[in-house]
Amino acid sequence: MEVTVKIFRYNPEKDQRGNYVTYKVEADENDRVLDVLEFIKGKTDGTLSFRRSCAHGVCGSDAMRINGRNMLACKVLIRDLGANITVEPLLGLKVAKDLIVDMEPFFDNYKKVLPYFINESALPENGRERLQSPEDRARFDESTKCILCAACTTSCPSYWANGEYYGPAAIVTAHRFIFDSRDEAAGERLQILAETDGVARCHTVYNCTEACPREIKITKAIGEVKMAMITGKLD
């Protein structure tokens, strides 16, 4: 089938503002958007820039706005989009070139929630790992799936309005450690998230949950963090 692909283009060395360029490509309906982008870059226009790495929905580097919604280009098939496709960079982050955005502010916010395991207690007597029951592990299983693609954060109107808002991805990461029974810094993280740019900026718009390529129930995770903050309980 012939697919018409309209792509946002911006070259910081030449352009004052972005513009759209349309390409017509022969594609199979089972091709992914990433295949089409690679075809265009390889055969039609080598100047097209976009991020990609694993190309299998694991690394999260090819998150972009496809037909108006955040998705991973490597996970969406042409047959699910039709013959007319519009590809744009993520919203709320500066465009570096074409479909590449500056991810630094996203990772700066991520770092603010202490995204690492904290436990200052001595190791168990046998010197081996800190054990955890399957039930305790299941408590935060959902939030371990995050691949930091930024599809959720850049779909959030609160983040569009204020780049200082930590954003859904950072809160999901905080959730992963707050509800980990082995971690000892839940209180510290909850205090960070109680700041002006923390969870209070979430207005349960639900764009993040819909955008997540890993199907994490992000709004629910944020809701659980909000409740833990109010009640002081982690159960």
Q: Would you tell me which residues interact with another protein (CB under 8 A)?
A: 10, 12, 17-18, 65, 67-69, 91-97, 102, 105, 155, 157, 160-161, 163, 203-207, 209-210, 217, 219-220, 223-224, 226-227
CA dihedral 160, 163, 168, 174 (to 10 degrees): -170
Minimum Å distance from CB 145 to another protein?
Answer: 16
Instruction: Provide the edge-to-edge strand list for the sheet that holds 84-88.
Output: 19-26, 2-9, 84-88, 63-66, 69-72
Amino acid symbol at 150: A
Beta carbons of 182 and 132 less than 8 angstroms apart: yes
CA 141 to chain centroid, in Å, comes to 17
What is the nearest approach in angstroms of another protein to the Cβ of residue 112? 17
Which CB atom, from 12 or from 82, has the smaller least distance to another protein?
12
d(CA 41, CA 38): 5
As measured in angstroms, the least distance from the Cβ of 45 to another protein is 19
As measured in angstroms, the least distance from the Cβ of 76 to another protein is: 13
Which of 126, 196 has the CB closer to another protein? 196
Minimum distance between the CB of residue 148 and another protein, rounded to whole angstroms? 18
Closer Cβ to another protein, 163 or 181, answer by number: 163
Sign of CA dihedral 205, 206, 211, 214: positive
Using the minimum distance from each CB to another protein, give the nearer residue, 18 or 124.
18
Q: Three-state DSSP class for 31?
A: coil
Of 41 and 220, the one with the shorter C-beta distance to another protein is 220
